[in-house]
Structure formats: structure tokens, C-alpha cells
Amino acid sequence: MKPISVGLVGLGTVAQGTLQVLAKNRQELTRRIGREIEVTHVGARRDRDGVDLSGVRVSRDLMAVATDPEVDVFVELIGGTDYARELIEAAIDSGKHVVTANKALIAEHGNQLFEKAQARGVTIAFEAAVAGGIPVIKAIREGLAANQIQWLAGIINGTGNFILTAMREDGREFADVLAEAQALGYAEADPTFDVEGIDAAHKLAILASIAFGIPLNFDAVYTQGISSIDLDDIDFAEELGYRIKHLGIARRTDAGVELRVHPTLIADTELLANVNGVMNAVQIYGDAVGSTLLNGSGAGSLPTASAVVADLVDVARALTVDPTNRVPHLAFQPNHLNDLPILPIEATRCPFYVRLLVRDEVGVLADITRVLADHRVSLESVIQKEGVEGEAVALILLTHSVVERDLRAALSQIEAFAAVVGEPVVLRVETLGAVL
């Protein structure tokens, strides 16, 4: 049978890993599909040392790959959201199936691209866009198809997880660990997308859409980074039996869907709390299966290439399938997506960790707890640190579950107290499967 012709654009680390996996596992892949996968056309604006492209057509014009009539499947691995979108649209118009690892493109423009692909009868596969080599998209879209997904929570950015892990284990400040992450290649020269949560928000938008059958809505994801995390809070969290992780959380509620990325306290006994370094993990709760956890390498050349090639295998198997019988891009049939409301962050409910600096004066704690009670905020734990007389000391509050706007209203009053110094530190606590 004629080999499947693949056109690939980009020759970065993921593309090189993809070529390596295709070459190394050629026979295994042929056994799985029943025909060979052959890269016939590569688009790259410059040569890469050590990349063997003998026998492969190479074009400096990437659009030539997207429109090549001999190519069956177009693989986009250049990143970005502008030119990559033009290339994918051209490939779709040419009747090609598409494989991409581009999470920003899918999160921000996926609705339009999927509609275009659906109309043309082709598929866009994007397993590599979320959590690298962990097959979380396939797990939610197919393996958990019998379930109504209630919530998912994930460590979906390895850079942030590496930084928080090193801060906790080594007692080092954020800036110091970030510099190490950059030196090791875990963080870019401009680390904003990673440390401020934008990368994780892209991935969460994709996961939530597949889990709940809603349109992609990246702009609605509440996003908070980790650059302001203090070692004191990591230590106080440990004392309370928690660890701070940068989580992406999506939860279905009666009022709508929560979509949020932020530093989060989770109990140190939870599996997610013990996923360290650059590893990723996603915990998913379905009404039939209960809780499941997928854990593994969330980035890197070969792990991400594993997902790219897996998508190629899926596309190859579906080439002869009637388009109406293929697995839908977002798990649910396009005309059955629900436009559920996305809750604003102030309407979400969870427990909170609050650190205040207060002068050690008589009646201060009573005044603070009175204001909290007036706003329907009850406390689970209180820790007041000893200090030098006359100096401000740390007061740590752990609340029960509360609507965020109520806590914020209480804290705005508490900040005005003469005995309270500076702004409070506020971090959300995630109870995962516990009833709120």
C-alpha cells in the first residue's frame, strides 16, 4: 500500500524528535497502521546541524509544504499564532489532515479552525499541545467518554513546577531558581508565558473544552503567575500540611464552569502535591470512574514527539473513515457543544490561605475574626507567629470554603486596621475531590 506522505514545517527540538521517532520506530508504526509513514517534504528557513534530510524535499517557503498536492498530512511545529494559522488554513483548503503541537493556536483560534476542518472533511490532531507525552487529550476525549467529567486539575507547565519544587526543597528565592531554569533550558530568556501562567491557561482552555463540551474560551481563563510566591508562604504551607503548586483547575458547577490558573495550596498527601521537578500531571474526576491521574513528561523533544507521532498514527488510521464517523475534535459533536457560562473568579468558591502582618496588640485577632464572620468567612486554622515586641508578626489564616468576593470584601476592611501592616498575601486552597 502507498506510504502516507507527511509534510512537516519547523526543525526545532520537537520536529527533530519527531523525525527521530519516525525513523527509529518505522517498523512498529507500519505494523500498527498497515502502511508506512514517510516524511516527503520539510519546510525550514535554515538548515540544522545533525538533521539528516537526505531523500526529502526541503523548502524555504513553508507555504509550499502546506499546499503540496503530494502531501497527505501536514505537521505544523513552528509555533506562534499568525503564520502558523495561515499555514494550517492553507493545508485544510488543500484537503490535508493536520497535526500540530501549537497550544496557543488551538486555544485562541481552534473554534474557527475546527469549523473549517469539519467543513472540508479533514481532521486537526493536537495531542502534543497539552502535557507533552502524556496522552491526556485522548484519555478525556475517548477513554473517559462514558463519564460526565466533574472537574480536572493539573500541573501543566513544567517550568513553574521546577521552580516551586526547588524553592521548597532548597529554600531558594524565586529569582535564583528562575535563573537556573533558564540555564538548564527549562525556561525561555523571556519566561513570562511560563511563570505568569499564560502557557498553562492555553492548555487549560483546551482541556476544559474537551472535558465539558464547551467552545474554546481562552480569554475567560483567570490567570495568576508564581513570580510573587514567597519562601515564607511555602514554609507556612508546609507547617499546615500543604504544598504550593501552580495548578490549572476546571470545575463544572451548578452556576457555570470555573476556569482558573493560579498558585494553589493542596494537601501534601495528595498525589498532585508529590509531582515534582519538570514533570506534569493531570487529575480528572468522572462520575462513573471516579478520580484518575495521568503523570509524566510534559515537555522535551522525545516526549512531545511521542504525542505528535501518535497523532500521525490516529490520522493515518482515519484516512479512509467517513468524516462523520471520526472522533470529534472537542470530544462532542460540533452541534452539541454547550455554551455554559464561565464564572468570574470572584464568584468561585474554595478555601483560602491568608497571611497578614499585624502588630502584636490586644484585641487585634478578635477584630479580624469579627470582620471575617460578618462576611460569612469561617476559619479552619489560625497560626500567630511570635515576634519582637512592637514589631509586626505573621498571622496565618486558613479559611473554610468561601465565595471569593466575600473574602475580598472582608480583607479590604481588615487592611484598613491600624494594626495591619501592608497588603495580605492570599492564596487559594484546592480540596480536589472533597465536598466544598
Which residues partner with 97 through β-bridges? 73
Cα separation, 205 vs 212, in Å, equals 11
- Which residues fall within 8 angstroms of residue 272, CB to CB, at 6 or more apart? 153, 154, 155, 245, 247, 266, 281, 283, 293, 432
Q: Considering Cα of 184, then 245, then 203, then 153, what sign does the dihedral take?
A: positive
Residue 364 to residues 356, 360, 425: CA-CA distances in angstroms? 11, 8, 18
The H-or-E segment that residue 265 falls in is strand 257-267
Angle at which helix 198-212 crosses helix 103-120, to 10 degrees, equals: 40
Q: Which residues are the active-site residues?
A: 203
Cα separation, 128 vs 106, in Å, equals 11
For residues 34 and 319, the model is more confident at 34
H-state helical runs in 332-422: 364-374, 404-414
Class of domain 4-133+301-336: alpha beta
Cα separation, 402 vs 19, in Å, equals 51
Boundaries of every domain in the chain: 4-133+301-336, 136-297, 347-429
The model's pLDDT over 212-251, given as tens digits with 9 standing for 90+, comes to 999 999 999 999 999 999 999 999 999 999 999 999 999 9
The model's pLDDT over 93-131, given as tens digits with 9 standing for 90+, comes to 999 999 999 999 999 999 999 999 999 999 999 999 999
pTM: 0.95
Structural contact between residues 247 and 204, judged by C-beta atoms closer than 8 angstroms: no
The CATH fold of domain 347-429: Alpha-Beta Plaits (3.30.70)
Grid cell listed for 238: 508546609
The CATH fold of domain 136-297: Dihydrodipicolinate Reductase; domain 2 (3.30.360)
Q: What is the average pLDDT score of the chain? A: 94
- Residue 45's identity, in one-letter code, is R
pLDDT confidence of residue 389 = 65
pLDDT confidence of residue 50 = 81
pLDDT confidence of residue 49 = 78
pLDDT confidence of residue 362 = 83
Cα separation, 403 vs 415, in Å, equals 19
